[in-house]
Amino acid sequence: MAARLMLRAPFFLASKTRQFYFQHIAKKQDYGSEMSFWESLLDGKSDPDMLAYSAVMLDKGKRSLFFPREMPLLVSAIMKKRKQVSVLEIGSGPMSLLAHGVDSKMMEVTAVDPLAGRYSALLAKHGIDYPIRPIAGTGEALPGNLKTGSFDIVYMSNSLDHTELPGKVMKNACELARAGGFIFVEGSANEGTNAGWSGLHQHDLFIKNGELMLRSQNGRQASLSGGLGIVCVAQRICTYNERFPACKLSKPWFSIVFQKDARGA
């Protein structure tokens, strides 16, 4: 079903290289704007759509409304072979969309985010006990204790376009997924253009003919999924308010799921 995965290089950077990345490259990212967004949201000072989003995610009884609709199908396929589903989320933010999966014991989630420490302090400030707490790391320089081929699903929601090197992040995601596992990416389409190339929005992502595509500010395009030995098994284009029914925004949203070669699983 899937093409053969041809990656050979280790997925993670050596410890000294990883330390250099955090000190000299990751700092270039405009994380201040991201923190301001979440601080305003939890302080109740955001726009109505985002406040509606927050209200759903903080209500255990409503979180299933925003749980990715593709996830139960992926979990069902995985559980034909194993009893427990392991998920890695890259760029989870303080309120992961996968919380319902943890609440319902559908999956075990390991989340990674460069702002993990600051998010933990923010949630503590507001007395929020959220079921998923990220550990510090970036998609380009993932924590070294994450093992190659150890996750059934690698998931990114509205985070890949926030990274410095989306191609590197996708390669790392493929390395981390088990044989036969899935790489699931969703987010706002063409957010770099829509946000005026401000803050963390330095890439346009969109899907085309079963490929996840990147467009830079200068108009150059490249496939983020080509050459990785993965194949698209599901894709969807909708609007933000279709993806998040409590919100009214109508900007475009995409989701795409790739599967890694099952040989050796």
Return the domain boundaries, the chain. 15-260
| Identity of the residue numbered 24 | H
- With a pLDDT cut of 90, the percent of the chain lying above it is 82
Q: Tokens 């790739």 sit at which residue? A: 258
Crossing angle between the packed helical segments 31-42 and 48-57, to the nearest 10 degrees: 80
Cα 115 from Cα 92, distance rounded (Å): 10
Could you count the other beta carbons within 10 Å of the beta carbon of residue 64? 14
**How far apart, in whole angstroms, are the C-alpha atoms of residue 258 and residue 210?**
9
142 and 12 Cβ atoms separated by less than 8 Å = yes
Alpha helix (H) residue ranges in the chain: 15-20, 31-42, 48-57, 71-78, 99-103, 116-125, 166-176, 191-194, 240-243
Strands 151-157 and 86-90: parallel
For the stretch 86-135, pLDDT in tens is 999 999 999 999 999 999 999 999 999 999 999 999 999 999 999 999 99
| 3-class secondary structure, 134 | coil
Task: Say what the pLDDT of residue 28 is.
Answer: 52
Q: Report pLDDT for 265.
A: 46
Cα–Cα distance between 67 and 64 in angstroms, integer? Answer: 5
Instruction: Tell me the HSE value of 121 on the side-chain side, using a 13 A CA sphere.
Output: 5
Evaluate whether the domain defined by 15-260 bears CATH number 3.40.50.150. Answer: yes
